[in-house]
């Protein structure tokens, strides 16, 4: 039997009450901190490399954010996928960012050199 919407709403509300939520966050905070402590330096390295690529292509700094967002998306995909599946997912992300008027050679350079990916196999 499927739970009705009202029951789900009540359960969700209790789960996110101030005391319960605060206690959960406090219990998880050390683990969360260790995770970000490990991830942030890697993200900084990736973004530094992206900015270097953008500088080589002569992209003005005000146009950096969408390219950085593309790199963050590929970075996130690389945490979930590998091999040809990662290449396909990165290519799908590239198609999305191309539709937003980013330049293909720059996106390919970010994909190929920073993430060492190539176009997916058919």
Domain coordinates of the chain in residue numbers? 5-114
Whether 120 and 81 have beta carbons less than 8 Å apart is answered as: no
Which are the contacts of 73, defined by CB distance < 8 A and separation ≥ 6? Answer: 93
Whether 68 and 50 have beta carbons less than 8 Å apart is answered as: yes
pLDDT (0 to 100) of residue 115 = 93
Per-residue pLDDT of the chain (122 residues; tens, 9 = 90+): 677 898 888 888 887 777 878 888 899 999 999 999 999 999 999 999 999 999 999 999 999 999 999 999 999 999 999 999 999 999 999 999 999 999 999 999 999 999 998 877 66
pLDDT (0 to 100) of residue 73 = 97
Q: Exposed, middle or buried, 29 (CB in 10 Å: 0-12/13-18/19+)?
A: exposed
pLDDT (0 to 100) of residue 122 = 67
Say which CATH architecture domain 5-114 belongs to. Answer: Up-down Bundle (1.20)
Both structure tokens of 24: 């959960």
Nearest-angstrom CA–CA distance, 78 and 8: 34
pLDDT (0 to 100) of residue 105 = 97
């Amino acid at each position: 039997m499927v739970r009705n919407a009202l029951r789900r709403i009540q359960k969700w509300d209790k789960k996110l009450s101030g005391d319960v939520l605060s206690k959960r966050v406090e219990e998880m905070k050390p683990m969360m901190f260790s995770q970000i402590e490990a991830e942030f330096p890697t993200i900084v390295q990736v973004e530094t490399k992206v900015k270097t690529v953008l500088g080589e292509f002569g992209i003005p700094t005000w146009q950096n954010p969408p390219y950085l967002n593309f790199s963050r998306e590929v970075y996130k995909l690389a945490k979930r996928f590998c091999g040809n599946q990662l290449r396909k997912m990165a290519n799908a992300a590239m198609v999305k960012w191309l539709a937003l008027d980013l330049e293909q050679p720059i996106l390919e350079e970010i994909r190929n050199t920073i993430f060492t990916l190539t176009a997916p196999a058919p």
